[in-house]
Structure 1
Amino acid sequence: MKFGAVQKVLGLLLMTFSFSMAPPILVAWLYGEGWAWPFWAAFGLVFGLGLLIFLPVARMREPLRVRDGFLVVVLFWSVLGLAGALPLWLASDPVLSLTDAVFESISGLTTTGATVITGLDGLPKSILFYRQELQWLGGMGIIVLAVAVLPMLGIGGMQLFRAEVPGPMKDAKLTPRITETAKALWYIYLWMTLACTLAYWWAGMGLFDAIGHAFATAAIGGFSTHDQSIGYFNNPTIELIAIVFMLLAGMNFNLHFMAFRRRDLKIYVQDSEFRLYVAVLLTVSLITILALYYTRTYDDWSESMLKGLFQAVSISTTTGFATAEFYHWPPFIGILLLLASFIGGCAGSTGGGIKVIRFLLLIKQGIREIERLIHPNAQIPVRVGGKSVNHRIVDAVWGFFSLYIASFTLMYLLLAATGLDLVSAFSAVAACINNLGPGLATVGPHYADLNDTAKWILCLAMLLGRLEIFTFLVLLSPAFWRD
């Protein structure tokens, strides 16, 4: 283990993250909110800590190995959750305990969108902007950003990239150089955010709300500047724009890059994961709309269609925006939407969940096992997009799925042990490990009423979901620490 290399990267990344306090300071100045001292204090503390970590190893030139990259990512997201909580904890409005501040910070950075804050409409603009900014930075991964803009790292950028980028196909690069790959991803992310901002603004949002909601939409985060989320605006055009950009953000960013570079939209249709992604969303949306209409939840067909479509896309892509209190809908619909969030977005997207490509491989592997029962001696490969998938990838997907379900079950039991009712406990863990946000029953509107133990368990769930289980659990293996 190259602890010097790990320490150097961690220090640099913390110093980089400290500058995220600058935009909220500017917002506070623009809206006449004073000196925004919580952000100044957080900047000084985070930058100072990063500098203290970095200076002792500044001249070291040790190469960063794959397992070193995993350690950096886990340490960084854990430390970042604490560092990001500082301004929220120090602020006088809202008044948050340390546990609540850390919960809100981790929820933002992991793009979960679960919140313990109520009365959003009356909060300072600087705090509101900071929450949205946390999600935006977490969406593509601050580490990928650091690899893109800090080539001075020069000590194993690929190792950080492989540990950070979601999905099972981590070795596919858009460009020959890892720095250029990270930049390409961020350019797509930036343009998507800008386009979403302009669309929201054009549809009637104020500029502040448009920027904030674009941050959360591109990141598939779900934080809002209003308690009623997107429903606050009561604007069908805004809701349709959100649906379009949630769909785009839930797709594999590699597809966006290739389609743009080749000027060919057929790239999307030719991708097996994209086709399943669309099929799942269409199926869940149709069932939700029909269920809302025939249960008379809404008497008007158009209202059932728009609200059903919006919530189906929002929950299935793990965004978590709301235009209605879906946790008060008939139980069947709530459970359907929650289960759809387990599938989540595509690999290489900002979405959460297990990822569509993994479910595609699980389905194909299941079909293969059925065929093997019929033809025991046949050699039947698993194919995706006309190509055989390496058996090691299939094994890894099964391993991931098993660990995902095991982690979910363990945290579900722990949360139930804190006294939470079973529906709330189930939905809370599902919403957090899938990086979704809103749950059912008591955790539908917010998580403020949970006890501190439950909140720390859910913080772990959010981190596990964001780091895709393996990245975190690999550190618990004795083999990881052997030279």
Structure 2
Amino acid sequence: MHFRLTLRVLGLLLMLFSFTQLPPLAISVYYDDSARFAFMASFFILLCIGFAIWVPVYRVKGELRVRDGFLITVLFWSVLGLFGATPLYLAPEPQMSFVDAVFESISGLSTTGATVITGLDHLPKSILFYRQQLQWLGGMGIIVLAVAILPMLGIGGMQLYRAEIPGPVKDTKLTPRITETAKALWYIYAALTLLCALAYWLAGMTPFDAIGHSFSTVAIGGFSTYDDSIGYFNNPMIELIGITFMIISAMNFALHFFAWRQRSLLHYLKDPEVRFFLSILMITFVITLAVLIIHQTYDSVDALRRAAFMTVSIATTAGFSNGEFANWPVMLPFMLFITAFIGGCVGSTGGGMKVIRILLILKQGYRELQRLVHPNAVFPVKLGNRTIPDNVLQAVWGFFSVYLLVFVIMLIALMGTGLDQVTAWSAVGATITNLGPGLGDVASNFGDINSTAKWILCFSMLLGRLEVFTLLVLFTPVFWRR
């Protein structure tokens, strides 16, 4: 373990992150709002602390190893999530406690979209922009993590895509060549953000709202500049744009890279994960639309709009809203909430357990049924024409088991803080899947729950964003042994 090299990277990260305080500072100056001092102070605090960490070890050279990758990945989200709370805590509007500021910062950076703030419509523009910017930065970090780092760390079946992902990232150690892949991903991510912002602007949003919502749409984050989220605009075209870019962003960015490189779209339909993902969206949409029409919740046209938008928003774990889905009839709130556990495709900005894992679990389950009938037969699990190794299937089942176990433990812990069962269950689900909105007392925001519950949910957001194992492995003795 190269601790000094890890400190060097951490110091550089903090110094780099300090410059993200400058865009909202410029907006604060432009709009002459009350958060100017908060962003100015935050910039100098982060820059000085990062510099203080970096200076003693700036001469340290070396090659990052797998264990270093785990540690740096966890520190990236936890430390930046903690320090990202600085301007929120210092700003006079909104007046936030330390735990609320950390919760909002981690929620933004992990692209969860759960918020403790009400009255967004009246907040300083700089604070609103900063929240959206946190999600955009976190979304790009997720792409680099999922496509360039996690496959090499072998997190619960993520190594399945080691041979498929773009660029030279097939080594078993972290090398500088990852920068080639990261650079290409940045271009794709930035291009999608720009296209989304232009589309929102042409559909009727102001430039400020268009940029802010493009940040959270492409990042699959869900933060909005209004309490009513996308529903504030009451614009079918804006909702259609949101649906389009949420689906694109919930697909594997390796496929987007391939589409850009090969100038072809056919590989999307050939990818088993994408086909399964689109099938889930279509089936959920049809059921949701049918129930809304049968129960006459809305007229046919309005039911179509709301069913399509909320299905995509919840299933991709974006968490935008154009209606109170928590109050929809019969099983719809629960059914939609469950789709968030599936989430987006691997290598996307979406949360959840990832579509590929659920697909492999279903295929493995079907193989066990076949074995009951033919005990001596050999039934390989395949994705397309590719046979999946048993060690990958074991990793997927291990991830699934630990995911559910951690979920239950945190559910019990939240109920121990005094939350009712529905609120506790949905709060853990909304944070570990990085969805955002929950049910019960957290249907609209998380501001009214107790501080202990918020700290638990901060941990839950990091667990979900870091694919569970990446964070939990740091708590094992074997990780720290030489």
Cα distance between partner residues in 2 of 1:165 and 1:475: 13
Flag the 1:122–1:162 CA change in 2: closer, same or farther, 3 A: farther
Cα distance between partner residues in 2 of 1:166 and 1:230: 35
* CA apart distance, 1:32: 2.2
Letter aligned with residue 239 of structure 2: E
Note if contact 2:112-2:435 (Cα within 8 Å) is conserved in structure 1. Answer: yes
Cα distance between partner residues in 2 of 1:362 and 1:312: 23
Flag the 1:53–1:23 CA change in 2: closer, same or farther, 3 A: same
Note if contact 1:144-1:164 (Cα within 8 Å) is conserved in structure 2. Answer: no
Partner residue of 1:284? 284
Q: Does 1:473 align with 2:465?
A: no
Partner residue of 2:171? none
Deviation string 1:256-288 (CA, Å, 9 cap, x unpaired) is 111221122111010000000000000111111
Q: Does 1:268 align with 2:268?
A: yes
Deviation string 1:300-342 (CA, Å, 9 cap, x unpaired) is 1011111011101000000000000111112410000110000
Partner residue of 1:445? 444
* CA apart distance, 1:24: 0.1
Letter aligned with residue 369 of structure 1: E
Query: Which ranges of structure 2 fall in alignment gaps of 5 or more residues?
Result: 169-176
Structure 2 counterparts to residues 71-90 of structure 1, below 5 A: 71-90=71-90
Cα distance between partner residues in 1 of 2:35 and 2:428: 38
* CA apart distance, 1:19: 0.8
Deviation string 1:168-218 (CA, Å, 9 cap, x unpaired) is 145244123311111111111100000000000000000000000000000
Partner residue of 1:40? 40
Partner residue of 1:152? none
* CA apart distance, 1:374: 1.5
Partner residue of 2:7? 7
Partner residue of 2:167? 175
Flag the 1:164–1:192 CA change in 2: closer, same or farther, 3 A: farther
Query: Which ranges of structure 1 fall in alignment gaps of 5 or more residues?
Result: 148-156
Cα distance between partner residues in 2 of 1:167 and 1:435: 20
* CA apart distance, 1:443: 0.5
Letter aligned with residue 423 of structure 1: V
Partner residue of 1:406? 405
Letter aligned with residue 224 of structure 1: S
> Secondary structure in 2 aligned to 1:380?
coil
* CA apart distance, 1:81: 1.2
Letter aligned with residue 238 of structure 2: I
Flag the 1:305–1:324 CA change in 2: closer, same or farther, 3 A: same
Cα distance between partner residues in 1 of 2:96 and 2:54: 31
Partner residue of 1:429? 428
Partner residue of 2:459? 460
Note if contact 1:143-1:160 (Cα within 8 Å) is conserved in structure 2. Answer: no
Partner residue of 2:417? 418
Deviation string 1:78-97 (CA, Å, 9 cap, x unpaired) is 11111000000000000000
Cα distance between partner residues in 2 of 1:78 and 1:139: 15
Q: Which runs of 4+ in 1 moved over 3 A?
A: 142-145, 157-167
Flag the 1:243–1:47 CA change in 2: closer, same or farther, 3 A: same
Identity of aligned residues (%): 57
Cα distance between partner residues in 2 of 1:438 and 1:294: 25
Partner residue of 2:360? 361
> Secondary structure in 2 aligned to 1:141?
helix
Q: Does 1:330 align with 2:322?
A: no
Cα distance between partner residues in 1 of 2:153 and 2:313: 27
Partner residue of 1:388? 387
* CA apart distance, 1:476: 1.4
Cα distance between partner residues in 2 of 1:159 and 1:230: 33
Flag the 1:237–1:164 CA change in 2: closer, same or farther, 3 A: farther
Partner residue of 2:300? 301
Partner residue of 1:128? 128
Partner residue of 1:210? 210
Partner residue of 2:189? 189
Note if contact 1:173-1:181 (Cα within 8 Å) is conserved in structure 2. Answer: no
* CA apart distance, 1:144: 3.7
Partner residue of 2:348? 349
Compare 348-357 and 60-69 and name the one that shifted more: 60-69
Cα distance between partner residues in 2 of 1:77 and 1:100: 17
Note if contact 2:156-2:398 (Cα within 8 Å) is conserved in structure 1. Answer: no
Compare 310-319 and 76-85 and name the one that shifted more: 76-85
Flag the 1:380–1:166 CA change in 2: closer, same or farther, 3 A: closer
Partner residue of 1:30? 30
> Secondary structure in 1 aligned to 2:85?
helix
Note if contact 1:19-1:43 (Cα within 8 Å) is conserved in structure 2. Answer: yes
Flag the 1:62–1:261 CA change in 2: closer, same or farther, 3 A: closer
Flag the 1:367–1:95 CA change in 2: closer, same or farther, 3 A: same
* CA apart distance, 1:382: 1.1
> Secondary structure in 1 aligned to 2:84?
helix
Cα distance between partner residues in 2 of 1:351 and 1:389: 23
Flag the 1:10–1:163 CA change in 2: closer, same or farther, 3 A: farther
Cα distance between partner residues in 2 of 1:14 and 1:335: 40
Partner residue of 1:153? none
* CA apart distance, 1:418: 1.1
Structure 2 counterparts to residues 36-115 of structure 1, below 5 A: 36-115=36-115
Deviation string 1:49-71 (CA, Å, 9 cap, x unpaired) is 11111111111112211011101
Letter aligned with residue 351 of structure 1: G
Cα distance between partner residues in 1 of 2:18 and 2:152: 24
Flag the 1:167–1:120 CA change in 2: closer, same or farther, 3 A: farther
> Secondary structure in 2 aligned to 1:247?
helix
Note if contact 1:64-1:159 (Cα within 8 Å) is conserved in structure 2. Answer: no
> Secondary structure in 1 aligned to 2:472?
helix
Compare 29-38 and 202-211 and name the one that shifted more: 29-38
CA root-mean-square deviation: 1.9
Flag the 1:254–1:142 CA change in 2: closer, same or farther, 3 A: closer
Partner residue of 1:150? none
Note if contact 2:94-2:123 (Cα within 8 Å) is conserved in structure 1. Answer: yes
- TM-score, structure 2 normalization: 0.95
Partner residue of 1:243? 243
Cα distance between partner residues in 2 of 1:375 and 1:144: 43
> Secondary structure in 2 aligned to 1:400?
helix
* CA apart distance, 1:381: 1.4
> Secondary structure in 1 aligned to 2:379?
coil
Note if contact 1:314-1:320 (Cα within 8 Å) is conserved in structure 2. Answer: yes
Partner residue of 2:173? none
Partner residue of 2:172? none
Letter aligned with residue 334 of structure 1: P
Flag the 1:320–1:421 CA change in 2: closer, same or farther, 3 A: same
Partner residue of 1:17? 17
Flag the 1:345–1:305 CA change in 2: closer, same or farther, 3 A: same
Flag the 1:35–1:344 CA change in 2: closer, same or farther, 3 A: closer
